[in-house]
Every structure is written in structure tokens, then in C-alpha cells.
A and B are shown apart, each in its own frame.
Chain A
Amino acid sequence: MKLILDTKKCTGCKICELACSAKHQGVFNPKKAHLKIIDYYTETGREMGFKSCTLCLKCVETCPVEAIAFNEKWLVIDDALCTDCGECVDICPEGVIFLNGEGTAAVPDFCQGNPSCMEWCPHGAIHKEEAAV
């Protein structure tokens, strides 16, 4: 699965990031969201970017204790194995893995198929794509 952002519809409100951190971490903090909306002006107009898990699986390959696995749909982490070393955080090219402060890494799992970000987006700008890797 993947998340796709329709940049024409996205207003940059970041409600998706808040919904994500609220659901998975119980706090409001865009830095603890598994997706990132980048939205700013330059002297020539508006720039937009979107970061979310692309299932590149670099985290799976890098994890020294094999705590992260891919279940053919999304990532799963075995908290009991995770040593909080942060190597997955450093390797993630999208910057959507972080340490949750409770001894384990937080990896994106697309809310197990029903992404909260998608549900909260007020303008229907986030879509999911059931693409194969």
C-alpha cells in the first residue's frame, strides 16, 4: 500500500499530521507523524512536497535485530526485539520513522489499511494505492 497526495487539493493545513501523531502517539506533534506535508512559497510560487512510507524496505534491511518486517501490505515492528538503536530512523529516506521515546521505533503501518490521515483530510487530498512493491 502507498499513500498519494493530490497537491492540487492539499491546502497544507497539516490536520493529517496531527491526526497521525494523535492516533499513534497520543499527542499532537507533526514531528511524530508518519507523513509529512511540505508546503511553502518561493519567489516564483508555491512549492509542495509529500513524504510517506514508499515501502522501500531499507529499514527492514538495516535493522540489526530484524525487528522490522514487511507483511506484503505494510511494515510491522516487533517491539520486544527493538533495541531503540535508531538505525531505521537514520536510513528512512522519507523521514517518517522516529523513536517514540518509550524504548522503540515507531514505523508506519498505514493504520493497518485504514489510514487516519485520509479519513481526517477535510478536502479529500490523500488517497491510498494498493500497489505492489
Chain B
Amino acid sequence: MSYLWKVLRINLSTGSVEKEPLNKEWAEKYFGGKGLGIKYLYKELKGGIDPLSAANKFILATGPLTGTIVPCSGKLAIISKSPATGTILDCSIGGHFASQLKFAGYDMLIVEGRAEGPVYLEIDDDKVEIRDANSLWGKGIFETESRLHKEHGVEARVLSIGPAGENLVPIACVGSEYYRQAGRGGIGSVMGSKRLKAVVCSGSKDITVPDMPRLLELVKKAIREDVLTDTNLGVYVDGTPQLIDMSQTTGVLPTRNYQDGVFEGAQKINAAALRELKPQVKACFACALGCGHYTCIKDSVVEGPEYETLALVGSNCGVADLEAIIKFNAECDDLGVDTISAGNVVGFAMEMTERRIRDFGIRFGDIETYLKMPRMIACQEGIGRELSRGVRYLAKTYGGTEFAMEVKGLELPGYDPRGSWGMGLAYATADRGGCHMRAWPIADEAFGKLDPFTIEGKAQLVITGQHYNAIKFSLILCDFWALSLETMSKVISCVLGREVSVADLQKAGERIWNLSRLFNVREGFKAADDSLPARIFKDPLKSGTPAGRVLPRDQFDSMLREYYQLRGWDSNGAPTPEKLKELEM
């Protein structure tokens, strides 16, 4: 079966290890990954708990496609309450961990409580042990993983945190296979708060499907005709750095803390510049594409840098030196720091210093000081202790709220909404705060054919994108396979052996989106929180196509109102009882 109908529940306070059946009714409505993880968390958490307390839970969820040959199905969803924002948090991490968890016999792992001292979890099929991790505590992700490979073999897959997670840094990530991350919302600090250094997993169980020959035929055709297309293969050839040129030419590339959207050094950090440094491509489990560009420069090795890192750690910090960006990136990956948030806090500190609001001792383009930042942030040294707490905290404490580039406390990714207005709504309404992974309307706006400087039709565009991604991240499929809902329906129907129509998928996507909203409403989030940094409304962009543009506040407000109306939510952004009834929630 593609579901194993088993949840592994581990309580680190009591040391209990339980195996329980997966809730079938929820699996039918929420499928897996993001949706099912949020359903469990919503049911099991009380509103208002401290995300870094023992009351929070850390959920690893696979989906019904995990472990099968369906392409781009290798990712793992991690679900928790975010220490950075207080919202729901679901992250996605590539590599091979998810498939190992499934082959070990579990659809989902729920970690509760808090251990007395550092521990790691060893999962090898039915054998599940909570093991001492004192000797790993304080180590980086690379060393942790290498040591665990020595102990458990290189075929076991590892999720771990670095010093940032241990030190409860709100911008700490979880790493796997050295260079893959569940990056955002401080998920690494949730592990740290549980004193959970790592999870090691290997499995040897079968995944079955009702009609293997039919699935193989369907998948083979899909790989040939729909996955290995010229458009999709862009990620194999150049990876996400291909976006640097697109953002630069459309004027939305965050530059010097979003003061500009065109970076004079862009050609030094684009895909063409990176091409020479790349010996190989690595893929996640069952991915026919492969987007992990293993890159070497002098003594630094990294997988990436991805577009978001190039934009936030590069242009947003005024840094056009690839070697420096790669070093910064590799340090963050090892120490367990999210590069998007790190690039934002460093860029913010640079602007604060240059505007003489507060001297953090770092200026745009100052590579020497900049390279010290990841360690100072992760290990809580000097100004790193302050920076690690995020842009929202820095602005509240030292000023600069006008240019604190965050939504709900989560720092913004690499697309300036002044040059693609729908992106503004996508950031403002994303369930975990400023995130580009919930809807990506810029593909149709600045990077596509729609007028980026109008709100016309954008609310619906964002809604459609949010539903599509919500179901996609629940099945679980990766962004980089831009498949139609029709193809998705064929694949999932074949794997489950029951008809799941396009309409069923759309409805499930909407249900999942409403559920994450219910979680946030319970945490006290209101319409006023669905907003954007003042800079987006007030400071015009300086260069390129969007020169002179802001996203006007009144336009944004009408777009948001339309969004609530189309969603059947009240004026405070809460789902109405009628809507919940319609979605059978």
C-alpha cells in the first residue's frame, strides 16, 4: 500500500515510543504531507502555547506518493508551530529522508515533549531508539551527519540541526544531506528546544500499489512527456540561479535591503557565472530532474547557491562576489541558519548602520565582516545575538520599522512586490508569513504575460496558486514538476486505486488552506497581520521597468478585501461557518 497506516509517536519527556494507526478519515481528506501534518497539529495543540516549550510538537510527514517511482515525490514535510512567527509552520525538505521513513514503515513521525539532555532518534524499521547525543551537541550539521554515517552506515539518512537550532535561534533551519534544508520559520529551534539533535532513519519495507504495470506505464509516459521538458529541465541545467537574470531584467531583484530592484553586480552572481563552478547535479529520491547543483570554489563546497540565497545573501547585502556568497551559504548550511532570513537581517543591519540609526558595524558590500555573520548568529556572539532574533525584533528594538522587510515576523524572499503586485498579496496572506512557496504569481506577472502593476484578477490568481500548492505539498510533489491538476489526478488515482478527480484535488487544496488559516486565527492573527512592510507601500523602486513604482496601500487593501470575499472569509480574514461547512470541515 502506498499508505502504511502507521504513525510513530515519540515522547522525549517520558521516553515513550508508540506506534498507532494513521487516521483514515483525515488521510482521505488531507492526503499527507502539509495537509495531514497540519490536521494532526491543529487537533493536538492548544492555542497560544509557546513554540519552544515542551507543549509544541515536531511532525515529520510523508505523503501517499512517497517511496514510489512517481517523479519529484521525494520531499518530506515538517510541521510545527513557528517560533519565528507564532503561526502554523510547514516546511519542505528534499533529499532521501522521507523515502527512508516510509520504507521503515511509517507515514508520519510525531515528536513530543523535551528530553533532559541531548538525544537523537535512531529508526531502523521496527527498531526505534532514543539515543544519547552529548558528543554531537555543539557540532555543525556536516560533522553530525558524517559521524552518524560512521555509526549507522551511509545509506541511513539524517536530519539534524547545528548550533543555531541548539541555541534556539528563531532563524535556525533543519539540514539533511549536508546542503538541503527545511529552512524557514525557525523549525531548527523547535528541534533544539526538544534537545533533539538528529533523526537517523533507514528502512527496508515494501511500498505497493494496486496496479503496478499501469502505474509504471503512466509514470514512464509522464517522465518523458511532462517532466523532462525543456522548461522543467531549466532546473537541471542551471537550477534556480536562472532567476537572477529574470529578476534583474524585470527590476524585482532585492538589492541593498530592498532599496532597489536592479543590482549592478547581477552578472557576477547569475547562472552563467555559476556554470563554471559546477561539477555535478544531485537529485532527491525519485526525481527525474535533479536541481541540486553541487558547486566548488577554492576550499568551499556547497549545493547551490540557490536563487533565494544569491538574492538575499548576494544583492540584498550588496555583495557581488560569488566566492563570498558560497562561503556564507556553506557556513549557514553547516551551522543550521536559514539563508533567506540571514540575508535579510544582515541587509537590515547594513542599512541601519548606513542610515546612522544604529551602528551594527557592518555596511553594504563589507565582505570581511559579512562572512563572520553566520557564526556570530548561530553561536550568539556579539551583534549576532541581536541579529539572530530577526528583522521584526531588530526594528522594534532599534528602529527602522519602515524598512523591516518581513510579514508576520518572517523575512521576505527574493521577489520585490513593487514590481509584481500579486506577489504582495501572496506574501501578505501566506500561512507562515513572508513566503514565496505558497503562491508564486510573479510567474504570470513580471516573469509572464500579465500586467504586474495592476490588482485586476490578482486575488483569484493567488487563491488558485495557494490551493494548487497546498494539495501538491500534501501528496507530496515538488514545485519543479509544473504538472497540471489533470495529470496529478491521474497519478494519485492510480497510486491509491480510487478515483480522485481534479475537483476533489481543488477542494482538498482549499480545505487545507482554510485549515492553516483556522490555526492562525486560533493564534490570534487578524486582517491587520495580512500586510506588507511600509517600504513596499511608500518607497518607490529606483531602477528598471518598475522605477518609480510602489504597491499603493489603497490598491493593496482592495486586493486583500477581494481575496477575503472570494475565499468566503469575513472582513477579519477568518473562514465563515458556511465556508467550513462547504469544505466538510
Residues in A lying within 8 Å of B, measured CB to CB? 8, 11-15, 18-19, 22-23, 25-32, 38-47, 120, 122-123
| B216 contact set on A, CB distance < 8 A | 19, 22-23
Sample of 19 A–B contacts (CB below 8 Å): A8-B279, A11-B280, A11-B281, A11-B283, A13-B284, A13-B288, A26-B208, A27-B206, A28-B67, A28-B68, A28-B206, A29-B207, A30-B103, A38-B154, A41-B142, A41-B145, A45-B294, A47-B154, A120-B69
Pair B177/A41 contact, Cβ less than 8 Å: yes
Known: A29-B205, A38-B155, A45-B296. A11 touches B282 (CB 8 A): yes
Chain A residues touching B, majority SS: mixed
| A19 contact set on B, CB distance < 8 A | 69, 216
State the Cβ distance, B333 to closest chain A Cβ, in Å.
10
Pair A11/B287 contact, Cβ less than 8 Å: yes
- Docked CA distance A39–B178 (Å): 12
State the Cβ distance, A58 to closest chain B Cβ, in Å.
22
Known: A19-B69, A22-B69. A29 touches B204 (CB 8 A): yes
Known: A11-B280, A11-B281, A26-B212. 5 other contacts (CB 8 A): A29-B103, A30-B103, A45-B294, A122-B227, A123-B290
- Docked CA distance A45–B209 (Å): 37
- Docked CA distance A26–B177 (Å): 29
Residue ID in chain A nearest B145 by CB atoms: A41
State the Cβ distance, B475 to closest chain A Cβ, in Å.
16
| A38 contact set on B, CB distance < 8 A | 154-155
Residue ID in chain B nearest A40 by CB atoms: B154
| B294 contact set on A, CB distance < 8 A | 45-46
Pair B285/A14 contact, Cβ less than 8 Å: yes
| B142 contact set on A, CB distance < 8 A | 41, 43
Residues of B291-305 contacting chain A, CB below 8 A:
292, 294, 296, 301
> B488: CB under 8 A from chain A?
no
- Docked CA distance A11–B480 (Å): 16
- Docked CA distance A2–B114 (Å): 51
Residues of B141-184 contacting chain A, CB below 8 A:
142-143, 145-146, 149, 154-155, 177-179
Residue ID in chain A nearest B291 by CB atoms: A11
Known: A30-B103, A122-B228, A122-B288. A41 touches B179 (CB 8 A): yes
Pair A8/B206 contact, Cβ less than 8 Å: no
Pair A15/B288 contact, Cβ less than 8 Å: yes
Q: Which of A13, A22, A25 contacts B283 (CB 8 A)?
A: A13
> B223: CB under 8 A from chain A?
yes
Q: When A and B form their complex, what is the total count of cross-chain residue pairs whose Cβ atoms lie within 8 Å?
A: 92
Residues in B lying within 8 Å of A, measured CB to CB? 67-69, 71, 74, 96, 99, 103, 142-143, 145-146, 149, 154-155, 177-179, 204-209, 212, 216, 220, 223, 227-228, 279-290, 292, 294, 296, 301
Known: A11-B287, A13-B283. A28 touches B204 (CB 8 A): no
| B206 contact set on A, CB distance < 8 A | 25, 27-29, 32
| B207 contact set on A, CB distance < 8 A | 27-29
Q: Which of B71, B103, B212, B223 contacts A22 (CB 8 A)?
A: B212
Pair A14/B103 contact, Cβ less than 8 Å: no
Known: A14-B286, A122-B228. A46 touches B220 (CB 8 A): no
| Residue picked from A41, A42, A123, most chain B C-beta under 10 Å | A41
Residue ID in chain B nearest A39 by CB atoms: B282
Pair B281/A18 contact, Cβ less than 8 Å: no
Pair B69/A28 contact, Cβ less than 8 Å: yes
- Docked CA distance A27–B207 (Å): 6
- Docked CA distance A95–B177 (Å): 23
Pair B149/A15 contact, Cβ less than 8 Å: no
Pair A46/B280 contact, Cβ less than 8 Å: yes
Pair B285/A13 contact, Cβ less than 8 Å: yes
Pair A42/B146 contact, Cβ less than 8 Å: yes
Known: A13-B288, A15-B288, A19-B69. A46 touches B208 (CB 8 A): no
Known: A31-B204, A122-B223, A123-B290. A12 touches B283 (CB 8 A): yes
State the Cβ distance, B500 to closest chain A Cβ, in Å.
20
State the Cβ distance, A35 to closest chain B Cβ, in Å.
14
- Docked CA distance A13–B480 (Å): 15
Pair B286/A13 contact, Cβ less than 8 Å: yes
- Docked CA distance A127–B530 (Å): 54
Q: Which 3 A-B pairs have the closest CB atoms?
A: A11-B283, A11-B290, A27-B206
State the Cβ distance, B231 to closest chain A Cβ, in Å.
15
- Docked CA distance A39–B74 (Å): 15
State the Cβ distance, B462 to closest chain A Cβ, in Å.
32
State the Cβ distance, A128 to closest chain B Cβ, in Å.
19
- Docked CA distance A28–B215 (Å): 12
Pair A18/B143 contact, Cβ less than 8 Å: no
Pair B220/A120 contact, Cβ less than 8 Å: yes
- Docked CA distance A36–B415 (Å): 41
- Docked CA distance A31–B204 (Å): 6
- Docked CA distance A18–B99 (Å): 11
Known: A28-B206, A32-B206, A122-B228. A43 touches B284 (CB 8 A): no
- Docked CA distance A44–B146 (Å): 11
State the Cβ distance, B38 to closest chain A Cβ, in Å.
26
| B285 contact set on A, CB distance < 8 A | 13-14
| B290 contact set on A, CB distance < 8 A | 11, 13, 122-123
Pair B146/A46 contact, Cβ less than 8 Å: no
- Docked CA distance A40–B67 (Å): 19
State the Cβ distance, A31 to closest chain B Cβ, in Å.
4
| B96 contact set on A, CB distance < 8 A | 14
Q: Which of A18, A26, A47 contacts B68 (CB 8 A)?
A: A18
- Docked CA distance A30–B296 (Å): 30
| A43 contact set on B, CB distance < 8 A | 142-143, 146
Pair B69/A15 contact, Cβ less than 8 Å: yes
| B292 contact set on A, CB distance < 8 A | 11
- Docked CA distance A15–B285 (Å): 8
| B71 contact set on A, CB distance < 8 A | 15
| A13 contact set on B, CB distance < 8 A | 74, 283-288, 290
| A44 contact set on B, CB distance < 8 A | 301
| B154 contact set on A, CB distance < 8 A | 38, 40, 47
- Docked CA distance A128–B207 (Å): 28
- Docked CA distance A6–B434 (Å): 42
- Docked CA distance A39–B288 (Å): 16
- Docked CA distance A40–B216 (Å): 27
| A26 contact set on B, CB distance < 8 A | 208, 212
- Docked CA distance A14–B96 (Å): 10
| B208 contact set on A, CB distance < 8 A | 26-28
Residue ID in chain A nearest B149 by CB atoms: A40
State the Cβ distance, B45 to closest chain A Cβ, in Å.
33
